[in-house]
Structure formats: structure tokens, C-alpha cells
Amino acid sequence: MAAAAPDRVLNAVVIGAGMVAATHVAALRDAAGVRLHGVWSRTAARAEALAKPEGAKVYASLDAVAADAEVDFVIVLTPPNARVALVETLVAAGKPILMEKPVARDGTEARALVETCEKAGVPLGIVFQHRMREASLAATNLVASGALGALGLVEIAVPWWRGQSYYDEPGRGTYARDGGGVLISQAIHTIDLALSLTGAVASVQAMTATTRFHEMEAEDLAVAGLRFENGSVGSLTATTASFPGGAEWIRLHYDRASLHLEAGVLTVSHRDGRVETHGAKGGTGGGADPMAFTHAWHQGIIEDFAEALRQGRDPVVTGRAALAAHALIDAITQSARSGQVTEVTA
């Protein structure tokens, strides 16, 4: 697909008006070089509530979005079970897509969506906004420099809380709508960020469960032992049953230093005694209010996607890159069901 004009403000359309839509609208309001052009939702009143204060259009249908030549890209916020037909319509119209995580309900479905976009040459970016934190970017640069030596141990934890009212929404925490529970709906952000730093996992041995604190179909707890392709080992614990909820964290132990990412802060503890920090502490939505976080990270993702369209390059997280998190989640789920060590298949 041809690159967009370098100086033109790009028109974005938001598709879906659920919980995270207001965050995207706020991000678009503050974003450089992008504006909210319109909103479409199956619930017209919700679309109007988002669009009208911004002076944006309200579309009557998805086909109307696809037919609008002024639309430069769309931001898809629908539940995972609503993605397939929607993506097919947008791809047929050649509309670049920025999609909220997860890509789909499982790895197989996600891979098919990614390949649909790739075969048509339609850009696909995924909203993993934790990648855009200052601390995450500093960790990425530090790991890429090779100055830390070899990775030996990985620790990943997502100790979040969601009240039962969160799961009382129809479809939430089900396999049919969401594809699962805490792994694919909450921990996937931290999983994606961790894998971007560590590289791929080779095999897992896992357990998942639903605690007494929630009535839901899928898991609210997952625990997994991890063996990485680079020879390091590690662990992952994720839950939405840890009241009152806390910040997720990643600890990476290298030959020359250990990295600790938590609540937007990177602490680097060097083996020679030096300690350095990057970033600033902030909320991540780990407690009772799932939206208790800044829209600045979403803004960063949106601005990067727009710039990627202008330059004809990949966005910071492509659909293909997002498949790594899906592959690990699928392997954890399979291992928990079989009780066996399971290889991670990309």
C-alpha cells in the first residue's frame, strides 16, 4: 500500500463504543497528525455520545465506513468474536487497521486474520500500549544493546483484581466472546511486552483455575513454568482475583544486571552495585477500576501507526508480531488442560 502524504493530518474512524473507546477518543484528541473523523457502533447512541462532542461523523453502517474515501485508517475496538467479518470488509476496501488486543479469540483465528491483511497488503497494527511507556522503551534499548549479557531468569506477574460485576457483563470471561479469561483479556499486555524483550518461549508447563471469587466460564488464575528458546527459564503468574489488585511486573535477570519493570518504572540493578531508574510511576488498571490509566500510551500507539502509514513502514506492533503472545497463551491453556509440558507453536 502506498505511503500517506507526509504532512497531511490523517482521518481515523473508531469502530466500537465499549469500555476503552473513550480512551481512544481522548488519545486522538491529543495526537499529533491524526484526528477523529468518525465513529461506528452497533449501538448508535454510544457512537453519538463519542462522536458529537468531537465534531466527528456517526456512521450508519460498517459498509459506510468502508466506502468513505476520506478514511485513512480505522481503530477496531470490538470484542474478539466480532472481528472476522469486520476485518474482511475493511480489507476489501483497503482500509489500514489498528486493532485493540487481542487479535482474536485464539492463535488459529488470529493467524488467519493476520494473513488476510498480509495477503491483501493492508497494514495491521495491534494496540499493545505498554510498549510505549518510557520505561518499556528504555528496557528495549538496553536489551538490544547487548550490554547486559545473557538472559538467565524471567519472572512475570500480573496480580490484578476485578470484581464480580465486571464479569456480569454478558459474554465477558467466556470462550465464545473473549476467547478466555485473565490470560487473553488482561495478562496479554504484559506477556507481549515481556516477549518483546526475552524472545520466544519454547515450552510451558501450566495450571489454570477459576477461584471462588468469580463466577465465570474461563480462568481467573494462570501459573506457568517457562523454558525459552534462548535457554533461559522463568515463570508467569496472572490473576484477576488478587484483591485489591496491584501493578503488573516483569523481572529479567542477565549476567551483568537485572531489570525490574513495574508501574511504568524501570529499575536497573547492575551487578557492580550501580542502580538506575527510568520512567515515572502511573496506574495500569490493575484494581477495581480497569480504566485507571493514562491515555498517553494509546496516543503513542496511534501516532506511531499514523507515522508508519506516512513512511510506508511497519508499526511498532504488527499483527504478525502479536501472534507470539497468542501462541504462548494457547500453549499455557493446552498445558493446563492436559497436565503435560507443551511446546509453543508460533
Residues 145 and 257 in one domain: yes
Identify the bridge partners of residue 13 per DSSP, sorted by sequence position: 38, 74
| Residue bearing cell 503488573 | 248
Residues 193 and 261 in one domain: yes
143 within domain boundaries: yes
pLDDT tens, 190-206?
999 999 999 999 999 99
pLDDT tens, 120-178?
999 999 999 999 999 999 999 999 999 999 999 999 999 999 999 999 999 999 999 99
- Interatomic CA distance for residues 46 and 61, integer angstroms: 14
Residues 118 and 186 in one domain: no
| Residue bearing cell 474512524 | 13
- Interatomic CA distance for residues 304 and 125, integer angstroms: 10
Residue 292: which pLDDT band, with cuts at 50, 70 and 90? low
pLDDT at 280: 86
175 close to 217: Cβ distance less than 8 angstroms = yes
In sequence order, which residues have a C-beta less than 8 Å from that of residue 171 and are 6 or more positions away? 79, 81, 177, 178
User: For residue 27, is pLDDT > 90?
Assistant: yes
Identify the bridge partners of residue 239 per DSSP, sorted by sequence position: 159, 221
5 within domain boundaries: no
1 within domain boundaries: no
In sequence order, which residues have a C-beta less than 8 Å from that of residue 107 and are 6 or more positions away? 323, 326, 327, 329, 330, 345
Cell triple for residue 60?
Answer: 450508519
Residues 107 and 218 in one domain: no
Residues 61 and 186 in one domain: no
User: For residue 3, is pLDDT > 70?
Assistant: no
- Comparing CA positions, the residue from 66, 99, 64 lying closest to residue 83 is 99
pLDDT tens, 47-56?
999 999 999 9
Question: Dmax of the chain from CA atoms?
Answer: 62
Residues 136 and 243 in one domain: yes
55 within domain boundaries: yes
Residue 222: which pLDDT band, with cuts at 50, 70 and 90? very high
3-state secondary structure the chain: CCCCCCCCCEEEEEECCCCCHHHHHHHHHHCCCEEEEEEECCCHHHHHHHHHHHCCEECCCHHHHHHCCCCCEEEECCCHHHHHHHHHHHHHCCCCEEEECCCCCCHHHHHHHHHHHHHHCCCEEEECHHHHCHHHHHHHHHHHHCCCCCEEEEEEEEECECCHHHHCCCCCCCCCCCCCCHHHHHHHHHHHHHHHHHCCEEEEEEEEECCCCCCCCCCCEEEEEEEECCCCEEEEEEECECCCCCCCEEEEEECCEEEEEECCEEEEEECCCCEEEEECCCCCCCCCCCCCCCCHHHHHHHHHHHHHHHHCCCCCCEHHHHHHHHHHHHHHHHHHHHCCCEECCC
CATH code: domain of residue 84 = 3.40.50.720
- Interatomic CA distance for residues 189 and 127, integer angstroms: 9
pLDDT tens, 109-123?
999 999 999 999 999
State which residues form the domain around 45: 10-130+299-318
Average pLDDT over residues 287-315: 88
User: For residue 241, is pLDDT > 90?
Assistant: yes
pLDDT at 287: 63
Residues 16 and 106 in one domain: yes
Residues 249 and 309 in one domain: no
Measuring CA to CA, how many Å separate 140 from each of 136, 143, 195, 267, 322? 6, 5, 11, 13, 16
| Residue bearing cell 464480580 | 164
Residues 146 and 120 in one domain: no
Average pLDDT over residues 59-74: 98
* Structural domains counted in the chain: 2
Residues 150 and 271 in one domain: yes
4 within domain boundaries: no
106 within domain boundaries: yes
Cell triple for residue 321?
Answer: 508480531
Residue 346: which pLDDT band, with cuts at 50, 70 and 90? confident
- Comparing CA positions, the residue from 316, 345, 332, 330 lying closest to residue 127 is 316
Average pLDDT over residues 15-28: 95
303 within domain boundaries: yes
